[in-house]
Homo-oligomer: A and B are copies of this chain.
Amino acid sequence: MPPSSSHAHAPDEPSRDPASPAADAAPAPAPASTPAVGEISAQTLNRLSVYLRCLRELQAQDVRRISSQALAQRFHLSATQIRKDLARFGEFGIRGVGYEVEPLRQQLENLLGLNRSHAAVLVGAGNLGSALACFQGLQGEDAFRIVGVFDDDPAKIGQSLGALRVRNTAELADAVRETGASIGILTVPAEAAQTIAEVLVDAGVRALINFAPVTLRLPDGAQAKNVDLMIFFEELAFFLR
């Protein structure tokens, strides 16, 4: 990886590109009315992830029920917003009581699509790529499994990363088809990102996390989440003026 790509993430993308692969509504298990995919903002989605994390923490502490109020205080959130966000997908709470932690956690996992396992391939075995390949957050979850790590650099090919061995990028498309991977993680240099993204999407990947500081142009039906780490640093620099 050349100038090891400058990856960094993207807090939230500059507004643009309203195109989104809207999926259908109502996933089988949810009894409540579920809005079409495109109708939930990234912001809301991120909050749901946060709530889920909070619920898991509560569950680890054997908390069975919690009110929006208590949840908000415990994790510095807004009680009203928690209620609004949750109410969007059904009536999960019990009036006068609060929410039951376990069922709510499950609802959120279903809603976020974490109830099934997603295979991911990672391209670019530089420092960041290696870190992600070994990332405990991913290993711990059942929802995501990295099934292949790829790089161009002959020096890296063959090296092992955790349980995986770095393979030649030439094998990428075949590997995606064989494993049915639906997620691609791009930790390649900026120049290579677009090309690799196209290979991935052609082979069947539908969701990308792109750590390279470029905007990917993707066909409909494929989604990319840009993550530019430099932007976080620049945001802090601003507060230090």
Using a CB–CB cutoff of 8 Å, the interface residues on chain A facing chain B are 2-12, 14-17, 20-21, 23, 27, 37, 40, 42-43, 45-47, 49-50, 52-54, 75-78, 81, 111-114, 118, 126-128, 130-132, 134-138, 140-141, 143-144, 182-183, 206-209, 213, 215, 217, 223, 225, 227-241
Q: Give Cα A234 to B182, complex, Å.
A: 13
- Whether B17 and A76, one on each chain, are in contact in the complex, defined by CB atoms closer than 8 angstroms, is yes
Taking the nearest CB of chain B, how far is it from the CB of A109, in angstroms? 10
Given A77-B14, A237-B112; A46-B231 close (CB under 8 Å): yes
The answer to whether A77 touches B4 (Cβ under 8 A) is no
Query: 15 interchain pairs (CB within 8 A)?
Result: A2-B76, A4-B134, A7-B135, A11-B11, A11-B42, A11-B46, A14-B43, A16-B81, A46-B231, A76-B215, A112-B238, A113-B237, A143-B233, A207-B239, A208-B236
Chain B residues whose C-beta falls within 8 Å of the C-beta of A136 in the assembled complex: 3-6
Asked whether B209 lies within 8 Å of A236 as measured between CB atoms, the reply is yes
Q: Which residues of chain B come closer than 8 Å to A111, judged between CB atoms?
A: 238
Q: Report copies per complex.
A: 2
Beta-carbon contact of B14 and A11 below 8 Å: no
How far is B236's CA from A45's CA once the two chains are assembled, in angstroms? 10
Q: Which residues of B contact A23 (CB under 8 A)?
A: 239, 241
Chain B residues, Cβ within 8 Å of A237: 112-114, 118, 143-144, 207
Instruction: Give A34's nearest chain B residue, CB to CB.
Output: B241
